[in-house]
Structure 1
Amino acid sequence: MSSNENGCVTDKKESIPTESRPFGLDDILVKIGEFGKFQFRFVVVIIFLIAFHTIVKYGFIFTASTVVYRCRVPECDGTENFYQQPWTDFTIPKTASGQLEKCQRFKTFNSTNTSSENVCYATNYDQESRTGCGTDFIFRDKEVTIAHDFKVFCSDEWKLAIVGSTNNLGQVIGIPLGGYISDRYGRSKVLACAALASAIIGVVRSFSINLYMFAFLGCLDNVFGSTIYGTAFVLAMEFIGPNVRSYTGTLLPMFGGISRFLLGLAAKNFLNWRLIERILYIPALGFIALPWILPESVRWLLSHEKEEEATKILRRAAKINKRKLSDASIEKLLQANRKTISGVETNKSQLVEAFKVFPWRIMNCSFCWFSTIFIFMGLSLNLSLLGRNRYNSFMYLGLIEIPGTLLPPMTINRFGRKYSLCGFMFLTGIFITAMTFVPSDSGTTRLVLYLLGKMFITGVFQIIYIFTSEVFPTSARNSLLAFCSMFGRFGSMIAPQTPLMAKYYASAPGILFASSAFLSGSLVLFLPETNNVVLPTTLKDAENIGQKEIKIQPDTETEAQETLLTSKAEK
């Protein structure tokens, strides 16, 4: 087994089968077809699940977004109320960026004669005295978000950020909980229940009567929905043969970017938040059929000694792929599995010991996860920094993730893990910093720099999964990786608050993202390099990474394959 160009660990063709390791499920997958008709159908369903996960995670950007509005000027506004009028120059104050103030207007000198038709003249307005709007506003766009229905304007506008934070709180709860439950009760069962529950909650949320009901259901939606991507990804990888697994593992995340593009397109054409919710969530009720479509993970069944069910699924896959699977091969797999299970020993103290042996490494990796998710989510949420149509900007951000996913293959093996991670972080910071110095009227230049920053932080996401799984020992790898990932989710909780900073200083979010990238990119250099080094098995091995050159041997990476598959959860 070897690392392919995109950093994913893959089996070499000649290593299946081999006498240097026990007969395993990968050998069976080679026999029944590594990516046949059975796997193709399976992956198509997984793609729909990935698309739905995108809706769950990013839908609030449109349904709970702030809107552009101004005070209604009763002396000037008539039956046809347009946001921009010739008289707004002397009736509505402007912000430092030249935009109309949302919640203030100039007072009239003769406030008692506001019904007169002769009041709407510049000479009748006191440019030194302002007043509030009350609850009467004129909106620039036709979109209807929860801000309209729940009257979240002016001093209450900060409450909209609660929606993003509660959504991400749901992820903090759902990701570790979903991983634990799927390990205990099965991948496909959890996936089916989570997808259906999320779909039902989304439909119910479209009938919300206030902001707090919407935010609570959003949190609950993400508790279930956040488990979809990771579980679906792992389930797909477990049914695909070793020689094509890395290609599929690279292609599947791309559908996340494509789904974000489609989400932006849907939001652009259906401008009412209740309609958007129903259009996106009602079709997902079809996931009720998942238990009859998605088979359970054979690896999970074997690890829980459910041999009969695992055998039926393998025979069904062989039949659909028009391959033969002998009884001898099945028996050989079951015997090897029984031997593996009988030899498994757990050592819960390893996790505690790891925090004692290399606490700095754990903290460094955790901060890197925090910065990555904070920047990634922050760039998705701060579309106002671009000063352009946010629907188009969001679609561009989805598409730019596709080359961002393909970048790591060009660097990760040539320059190493930590230098690639450092370089991508610094490039992210450089492009975002450059954008903050570009004038707001240079829209195209700002957009290009913003997209380049998003592309490189997407590349960081691909590398960080691999790198952090390689610096920890086998005895505590999954637990420590889950810890770092969970710590990173706090970044996604803080990110929705950053658009509020732009109200006081337009470049503040960009400066914060760039600073985080530079700091995290610098700290990464203190971690050991893991490229072409044997994966550590014990705490002592992990502690000594980088102190001596030990090249990877084919037989040492079998466990790395499983770790990377289970660790590549959602962004």
Structure 2
Amino acid sequence: MAFQDRKMSFDEVLDRIGGFGRFQKTLYVWICLPQIFLAFHMLVSVFTGAVPPHLCRSPQPGDGAPWLGLNYSNASWETCSSLQNVQPSQLNHSNLSLPIRESSTTPKSCNGEWEFSKDVFLSTVITEWDLVCENAMLNHIGSSIYMFGLLVGAVMFGALADKYGRRNIILIGLAAQVIFGVGAAFAPNFYIYVMLRFVVGMTVSAVIINAFVLGTEWTGPKQRMLAGVITDYFFGFGYILLAGVAYLIRDWRQLQLVISAPGFLFLFYIWVLPKSARWLMANQKHEEALDLIRKAALINGKPLDDDDIELCQSLINVEKLEDQRKYTVLDLVRTPRMRKQSLIIFYLWFVNVLVYYGLSLNISDFGMNIYLTQMIFGLVEMPARAVTLFTLNRSRRISQLAFLATAGLACLLTIFVPDDLSVVRTALAMVGKFGITASLSIVYIYSAELFPTVIRQNGIGMGSMCARAGGVISPIIYLLGKSSHHAPMVVFGLCPLIGSALTMFLPETAHKSLPDSIEDVECTGDSEA
């Protein structure tokens, strides 16, 4: 046989049994379905944390601001306006329909009761716990804590997945997600709600990272890019679907329950979700890996004959002779080439998520209907992910570079557009969203191909941790707008441009086998040099 005189790589095994046959396609069905609910959890705060128009009512009639039916249809009211400073003669229909602006005498707290408009939302986290004025910062802190949960989950579950397997962590993540997600719908106060959302954030990282890696490790190099983008499509579909679900359900507790409870259906994954044969090989569970390979080959209609089994066994024998030491995150930066690639990829993860959620979670800034804007932003994701199908096959590196540059330039150009040209500013922001969405799709695939098998999950986990750091910071970036109106978009423009320049120092991975060891990465560097 042609392969008998040399080591057979795992990618060659996948080619022999079918790189994307019925087995892999079924696996991707199981991987993609949870992506819809991951999108729900990631973006639901756009609606549950929305701030409706509101005014302060005095504790009782007769103290200067009588109880009146208020017209909240004008959303231009400033958020901390108070009726306590308005003279009774001013409280008529014509005056209340006009914007009420804050003045130096307007108090930042309410001694009575906040009255919120119900024209758009029946209830939100904001309206239930009065998170406005002096308490408004709690809403931003809550968003950052959720993002911090994503960060913690990326670190913790990345390491656990390398030790206990991708499949086990996915199952744990799905189970915890539904339990704590449903619990958040019944939270008695804001602090417990934030704590439960923090855990949900951890589970989102557990599922989204390990599902992607599990699919990547079962897919042949020729189909790996297409398979990765398919996963992103389901996240984008969840993005769009959330707008419709939130439009129909205007109460935040009901909405939280509806996006969480269906997770109980994923209980059947215990019986259908396979382990990663590549991970089993890397962890010296060779016979179990060979059994899975035989099963996949049979399902794909390419059963192994004696010669094929001999070749797979030769791979196992080589693996048994390799260094058995345990790898840690330190191995990501221990050797020169691995260190350079890791640090660049970590920055790319950071900047992609910083800009992606910086634009996605602040759609109310565009001044359009919040449901329509959410749907448009979701629809932009579809062509953004589709275009990567035509560019990634040519070059991972150039694709990453070009879309980061597109996002950065579009965000920077918005600062030169006058405020009265809101349509132009919105269009540029949509171009920025297009570029960063495409770039975010690519960084998942690029990372999985750059990190070797022995530390792939650690690498993806650390990259995701850096990404979640970007998510934690993104709400804070908008606070810069208080000092400079254009400051957030300047940050969202410059950071991707820096990432675009750094991408030029990464190797090309298109149509190449996945590296299995750190030595593979270093030797590849030597051969390219």
TM above 0.5, yes or no, is yes
1:403 to 373, 383, 393: 383
Number of equivalences: 515
CA contact (8 A) 1:150 1:211 kept: yes
Q: SS of the residue aligned with 1:404?
A: helix
Letter aligned with residue 114 of structure 2? D
Aligned counterparts, 1:467-478, within 5 A: none
Q: Using the TM superposition, give the Cα deviation of residue 244 of structure 1 relative to its aligned residue in structure 2, in angstroms.
A: 3.1
* Cα gap change, 1:485 to 1:232, in 2 (>3 Å): closer
| 1:291 matched to 2:270 | yes
- The answer as to whether partners of 1:354 and 1:476 remain within 8 angstroms in 2 is no
TM-aligned CA distance change 1:392 to 1:77, over 3 Å: farther
* Matched residue SS, 1:136: strand
Letter in 2 for 1:296: K
- Structure 2 residue runs of 5 or longer lacking an equivalent are none
1:568 corresponding residue in structure 2: none
1:170 to partner: Cα distance: 1.3
Q: CA, structure 1 residues 443+301, in 2 after alignment: closer, same or farther (shift >3 Å)?
A: same
User: 489-498 or 233-242: which moved more?
Assistant: 233-242
1:46 and 2:31 are equivalent in the alignment: yes
Aligned 8 A contact 2:225 2:393 in 1: no
Q: Once the 2 structures are TM-superposed, how far is the Cα of residue 126 of structure 1 from its aligned partner?
A: 12
- 1:438-482 superposed Cα distances (whole Å, 9 cap, x missing partner): 345544333321111011112322444566678888997775665
Q: In the alignment, which residue of structure 1 is the partner of 2:81? A: 104
> Structure 1 residues 65 and 20, CA, compared in 2 at 3 Å: closer, same or farther?
farther
1:22 aligned counterpart, secondary structure: coil
Of 7, 14, 22, 2:7 maps to: 22
Does the 8 Å CA contact 1:158/1:500 hold for their aligned counterparts?
A: no
- Does residue 370 (structure 1) correspond to residue 370 (structure 2)? The answer is no
SS at match of 1:137: strand
1:252-267 to 2 correspondence within 5 Å? Answer: 252-267=231-246
Shift of residue 514, structure 1, vs aligned partner: 1.7
1:69 correspondence with 2:54? yes
Structure 1 length normalisation: TM-score? 0.76
Q: Which moved more, 1:160-169 or 1:429-438?
A: 429-438
Quote the offset at 1:532 in angstroms: 8.3
Q: How big is the shift at 1:320? A: 4.3
The question of 1:203 aligning with 2:192 is answered no
Structure 1 match to 2:45 = 60
Please point out which of 365, 385, 391 is paired with 1:385. Answer: 365
Matched, 1:137 2:134: no
Using a 3 Å threshold, how does the CA distance of structure 1 residues 478 and 324 change in structure 2: closer, same or farther? Answer: closer
Contact preservation (8 Å) 1:365, 1:484 = yes
CA distance in 1, matches of 2:487, 2:413: 13
Q: Which has the higher mean CA deviation after the structures are superposed, 129-138 or 211-220?
A: 129-138
Change (3 A) 1:488 1:34: closer
Deviations 1:116-146 (A, max 9, x none): 8997787xx9997744454232425234211
**Among 399, 405, 409, which residue is 1:426 paired with?**
405
Separation in structure 2 between the aligned mates of residue 130 and residue 120 of structure 1, nearest angstrom: 23
Please list the CA deviations of residues 388-416 of structure 1 after superposition, one character each: whole Å capped at 9, or x if unmatched.
12222222222222322344455567688
Label 1:482 to 1:174 Cα distance change in 2 as closer, same or farther (>3 A).
closer
CA distance in 1, matches of 2:273, 2:328: 36
SS of match in other structure, 1:282:
helix
Give 1:278 deviation, angstroms. Answer: 0.9
Query: Cα 1:421–1:532, aligned 2, differ >3 Å: closer, same or farther?
Result: closer
Which has the higher mean CA deviation after the structures are superposed, 197-206 or 480-489? 480-489
Cα contact 1:42–1:294 (8 A) shared by 2: yes
The one-character-per-residue Cα deviations of 1:532-552 (angstroms, maximum 9, x if unpaired) are 89999878986996x9966xx
Which range moved further: 239-248 or 280-289? 239-248
Distance in 1 between the 2:103 and 2:510 partners?
69
Cα shift at 1:102: 1.8
Q: Give the Å deviation of 1:42.
A: 2.4
Contact preservation (8 Å) 1:471, 1:542:
no
Amino acid at match of 1:329: D
Task: Tell me if structure 2 keeps the 8 A contact 1:64–1:163.
Answer: no
What CA distance in whole angstroms lies between the structure 2 residues aligned with 1:156 and 1:460? Answer: 36
Distance in 1 (CA, whole Å) between partners of 2:449 and 2:220 is 22
**C-alpha spacing 1:407/1:20, structure 2 compared with 1 (3 Å):** farther
Bigger mean CA deviation after superposition, 451-460 or 338-347: 338-347
Which amino acid in the other structure matches residue 46 of structure 2? Answer: I
Equivalent in the alignment of 2:436: 457
- The answer to whether structure 1 residue 341 and structure 2 residue 320 are counterparts is yes
The question of whether the paired residues in 1 share the 8 Å contact of 2:329 and 2:459 is answered with: no
User: Compared with structure 1, are the counterparts of its residues 20 and 403 closer, same or farther at alpha carbon in structure 2 (3 Å cutoff)?
Assistant: farther
Alpha-carbon displacement from aligned partner over 1:302-335 (angstroms, at most 9, x marks no partner): 4444455445544544554455343553354234
Relative distance call for 1:222 and 1:463 in structure 2 (3 A) is same
Q: 1:63 to 1:42 in 2, by over 3 A?
A: same
How far apart are residue 373 of structure 1 and its match?
1.9
Q: Write the distance in 2 (CA, Å) between the matches of 1:347 and 1:498.
A: 39
Q: Choose the corresponding residue for 1:83, options 42, 66, 72.
A: 72
Q: Indicate how the Cα distance of structure 1 residues 488 and 319 shifts in structure 2: closer, same or farther if over 3 A, else same.
A: closer
Q: Partners in 1 of 2:520 and 2:317 — Cα distance?
A: 29
Code of the aligned partner of 1:405: R
**Displacement, 1:502?**
4.2
Matched, 1:173 2:162: no
Match of residue 148 from structure 1: 127
Q: Distance in 2 between the 1:212 and 1:457 partners?
A: 33
TM-score w.r.t. length of structure 2: 0.82
Residues 169, 493 of structure 1: 8 Å contact kept: yes
Cα-Cα RMSD: 4.1
Question: Equivalent pairs: percent with the same residue?
Answer: 27
Specify the alignment match of 1:4 in structure 2: none
| Aligned-pair CA distance for 1:274 | 0.7
**Structure 1 pair 520–241 and aligned structure 2 pair: CA distance change class (3 A):** closer
